Amino acid sequence: MSRRSIVICGNGASAALLLCALARRGEGSKFEVTVIGTGPRLGAGIAYATGNPNHLLNVPAGRMSADPLEPQDFEKFLAARGNKAGDFAQRFVARGFYSDYLDQTLKSLLPKDMQKHVRHVRAQVHGLIRVGLGWTVLHGEGSTNADLVVLATGLGGPAPIAGRYSADAARIIEIPWGEPQVDTKEDVLVLGTGLTAMDTVISLMDPGHTGQITLLSRHGMLPATHVPPAKREALAQPFPRGPGALLRAIKKEAGATPEEWQGFMDAMRPHWPEIWDGFDAREKSRALRHGLSHWNRHRHRVAPAGAARVQDAGVTIMAGRLTALTLKEQRLAATVTHKGKTQNLTVDRVINCTGPALNKGHDALMENLIASRQARIGPAGLGLDVDDRNRVTDSDGLAQPSLFALGAPTRGRWWEITAIPEISRQAMDIAGHIRAQFSLMDAATRLERKGAKA
């Protein structure tokens, strides 16, 4: 019987974790696996491709193992690379180390007979075409056929903003990753105050930026800074019903200090998918509309060294929305509106750090899947809709046995699914479902051949 084929769309951490999961199950050498993504190597997606040593992981190294059964795996890697063993539970290392770690983990897990059956095509995936029980994957280098496809495309980039304003598009940096091409004397408006905005400020300051840097978001809140968390308990079950009741309970039980808050968030972390799944569609939309900024601030925290760099940069934090942006004497005139009041400022560049668009597909691939009715938008407009096995559902709500989604594209279903520990466990589950699906396909093939002989 011919070797079954898998295409993984995306070459970042999610793709690497799925390959690791297949290898740990001893399944990898049985398949032909093609990973298609624009990054330079497996595991080097948007999050971990940075080469800036001042871009740190936003989680302590002791909690970043790619193996759910070996929680100290990343620590061992760091120690072997010359990082002195210490309190890895509170150490924040450069994110570039993590792509190296994923690369080494893959090489150590993939036996030689599996390595020759895994290839990386550096291209952008544009769409999928159903061919029998399998797929043809269309990408920038042509097309690839597969029995099964896994969408591991990550969070994606922010929605472009240049088209909304009558400004010079060349002065708007839409892709915030990498080192921004900005003169050190230019005044910069950064849209967003989350972790990407923090990285952007650090990248601006590294070469000695002297211009004014202004960060703008709806609430004007920077991420909370990591502190050693206090030991806390999760809310008593059953959990309060609905976002409002839940928020009131959290405010009552979370505590007053950052240490208490962070300990409480850590204690609640395993329960968020259950809580999210208990909300109806209206409640999910309401939670996103009213609570997302506060959630992101406390859940996605920043390393202390990164917070200190931004504080030392003397940035201006503004709350409000960018309501106008026009070209004025070779500069940009920006109008910010907050609670009915407007404020004007003049800058030389705008950098888009608004985060992934919540109510749209991640990229052209997702949009094409939805337009072709092979997928539908997930709950509350987040990612794609999947069933409890992470199989993508079509426009009629039917799960497609040979099309899976992994990581961020499934956050509409699971919510807490964008961090390494959760994605790693999800990858192990999907690896098991892949084996089961291929067993069914092999059985069907055998029956067909038996019928043909008869």
Classify residue 238: in a domain, yes or no.
no
Q: What is the pLDDT of residue 214?
A: 98
Same domain, 285 and 327: no
**CA dihedral for 250, 254, 256, 257, sign (positive or negative):** negative
Same domain, 326 and 368: no
Alpha-carbon distances, residue 201 vs 17, 29, 227, 300, 312 (angstroms) = 30, 44, 21, 17, 11
Domain hosting 309: range is 162-224+301-352
**Who wins on pLDDT, 296 or 428?**
428
CATH number at residue 334: 3.50.50.60
Final residue belonging to a domain, choices 313, 336, 352: 352
Same domain, 387 and 446: yes
Final residue belonging to a domain, choices 352, 373, 394: 352
Is 361's pLDDT higher than 50?
no
* pLDDT > 70 in the chain, percent: 95
Match 């591991």 to its residue by tokens.
Answer: 152
**Who wins on pLDDT, 61 or 157?**
61
Classify residue 113: in a domain, yes or no.
yes
Average pLDDT in the 251-268 region?
92
For the record, the structure tokens of 6 come out as 């898998």
Same domain, 295 and 305: no
Average pLDDT in the 178-191 region?
94
With 0-12 CB in 10 A as exposed, 13-18 as middle and 19+ as buried, what is 335? middle
Same domain, 374 and 428: yes
Is 359's pLDDT higher than 60?
no
Same domain, 309 and 167: yes
The model's confidence at residue 166, banded by pLDDT at 50, 70 and 90, is: confident
Same domain, 166 and 197: yes
- 52 CB contacts (<8 Å, ≥6 apart)? 94, 96, 179, 199, 202, 203, 206
Same domain, 344 and 212: yes
Is 440's pLDDT higher than 80?
yes
Same domain, 194 and 274: no
Average pLDDT in the 76-97 region?
83
Classify residue 230: in a domain, yes or no.
no
- Domains: count for the chain: 3
Classify residue 19: in a domain, yes or no.
yes
Q: What is the pLDDT of residue 334?
A: 95
Window from 6-20, 26-40, 181-195, 198-212 with minimum mean pLDDT: 26-40
Is 223's pLDDT higher than 90?
yes
Average pLDDT in the 143-170 region?
90
Q: What is the pLDDT of residue 362?
A: 46
Window from 61-75, 212-226, 352-366 with minimum mean pLDDT: 352-366
The model's confidence at residue 165, banded by pLDDT at 50, 70 and 90, is: confident
Is 30's pLDDT higher than 80?
no
Classify residue 232: in a domain, yes or no.
no
The model's confidence at residue 211, banded by pLDDT at 50, 70 and 90, is: very high
If you average pLDDT over every residue of the chain, what do you get? 90
- 421 CB contacts (<8 Å, ≥6 apart)? 63, 65, 68
Average pLDDT in the 365-369 region?
91
Same domain, 325 and 211: yes
Is 425's pLDDT higher than 60?
yes
Same domain, 423 and 289: no
Instruction: Name the helix (H) or strand (E) containing 299.
Output: helix 281-299
pLDDT digits (tens, 9 = 90+) for 240-255: 988 889 989 998 988 8
Residue 168: HSE in the Cβ half-sphere, 13 Å Cα cutoff: 12
Same domain, 61 and 149: yes
For the record, the structure tokens of 154 come out as 């990550």
DSSP letter assigned to residue 56: B
